[in-house]
Amino acid sequence: MIPRTLYGPEHEDFRKTVRRFFETEIVPHRERFEEQQHIDRQLWNKAGELGLLCVTMPEDFGGLGVDRTYSVILMEEQSYAGDSGAGFSLHSDIVANYVNNFGSKEQKAHWLPKMATGEVVGAIAMTEPGTGSDLQSVKTTAVVDGDDYVINGSKIFITNGYLSDLVVVVARTGNSGEGSKDLSLILVEADRPGFSKGRPLKKVGMKAQDTCELFFENVRVPKTNRLGLEGMGFIMLMKELAWERLMIAITSVAGGEAVLKHTLDYTRNRKVFGKPVAQFQNTRFKLAEMKAELSIARVYVDKCIEMQLKGKLGVDDAATAKYWTSDLMMKVIDECVQLHGGYGYMLEYPVARAWIDSRAQRIYGGTNEIMKELIARTM
């Protein structure tokens, strides 16, 4: 296997801490988290105490001040643990990035330390019932009234929404008719009058992930809650979306690798017609194909991570990584279910949970069809 060059010895202690957290605090409680449709709120505080939240944020604002390779470790270890419930990456690597990259000094000083400790859980509200991947069609409005914005509208499929304390809301603040020039990003605290949350949504998979609808009825927030300049929301979103899509690629490859490992162990131990399943030529060929394709995907994604660290990751590169690896993940997991036979359909097996949890990878972050459109535009 081609060696990875992203990590040095200094990463290993961090990886051990992350792995231990997921093995002791998340995995044993998976069924309970799935029943309540979110992880325990106190786990956010525990993760903060261990330094697992907002690691790339500046030390002055409570982070570790490290680069995104540490964020990658968090995503990989969560995938290796088979967990789809903890919304730490969205909180730390998406929401915190918007605050850090576009917020005022006051906004950063107020919110980032609290996000780093887990005192505040962050979410971002883009998707609406009628918009999906088309952000320029957002209907939620933020109308100026004196020194305030008055927000009306609703959002759906919001990760960390139910436990959220702070939400970055994508809202329409203009009426130029050009969707990309009319959007702004506004920080909304969860205790604002008129802001309410629906119950966690009942999903096919990812049942422990906190996902809900958010409703805004005449929610009044000061203009000082706006991130950056008015009307610059779409541009800010585009600047961060490449990283968000790469995050999906990172978890897709790691998730595929984890399921392949479980399947290799299973086929070596499961006997059919007097010999292990792994000794049949069909099984060996399938395992070889999956290893080869995941190895190719790993090299491409690692290269994209290197480019991201240098600030050179292109929109088309990120779209390629997101679309191709999430498709590959589903292909690999489906093959692994087949190699498990009937047991692959049983939820006590990691492969079955991965099968239902991973389907959303091809949808969120922009559907894979949108990714192909983005790639085509650069050709």
244 in catalytic set: yes
163, 134 in Cβ contact below 8 A?
Answer: no
Average pLDDT over the chain, rounded to whole? Answer: 95
CB atoms within 10 A of CB 349: 18
Q: Scan for tokens 């982070």, then name that residue.
A: 63
125, 169 in Cβ contact below 8 A?
Answer: yes
Per-residue pLDDT, 44: 98
Per-residue pLDDT, 176: 78
d(CA 33, CA 90): 18
Per-residue pLDDT, 131: 77
Alpha helix (H) residue ranges in 65-117: 69-80, 88-90, 96-102, 105-117
d(CA 298, CA 371): 19
d(CA 179, CA 231): 9
62, 84 in Cβ contact below 8 A?
Answer: no
The predicted-structure confidence for 249-298, as pLDDT tens digits, reads as follows: 999 999 999 999 999 999 999 999 999 999 999 999 999 999 999 999 99
The predicted-structure confidence for 261-274, as pLDDT tens digits, reads as follows: 999 999 999 999 99
Per-residue pLDDT, 135: 75
Q: How confident is the model at residue 179 (pLDDT cuts 50, 70, 90)?
A: low
User: In this predicted structure, which of 120-124, 175-179, 181-185 has the lowest mean pLDDT?
Assistant: 175-179
Among residues 77, 230, 244, 257, the one annotated as catalytic is 244
d(CA 358, CA 330): 7
Q: Are strands 122-125 and 166-172 parallel, antiparallel or unpaired?
A: parallel
Alpha helix (H) residue ranges in 310-340: 315-340
The predicted-structure confidence for 117-173, as pLDDT tens digits, reads as follows: 999 999 999 999 977 667 778 999 999 999 999 999 999 999 999 999 999 999 999
Per-residue pLDDT, 238: 87
For the entire predicted model, the pTM comes to 0.94
Instruction: Tell me the average pLDDT across 319-340.
Output: 98
Dihedrals phi, psi of 16, to nearest 5 degrees = -65, -40
Q: Scan for tokens 């920080």, then name that residue.
A: 187
d(CA 326, CA 321): 8
Kind plus residue range of the DSSP H or E element containing 227: strand 226-227
Instruction: Tell me the average pLDDT across 171-184.
Output: 85
The predicted-structure confidence for 8-46, as pLDDT tens digits, reads as follows: 999 999 999 999 999 999 999 999 999 999 999 999 999
d(CA 318, CA 324): 10
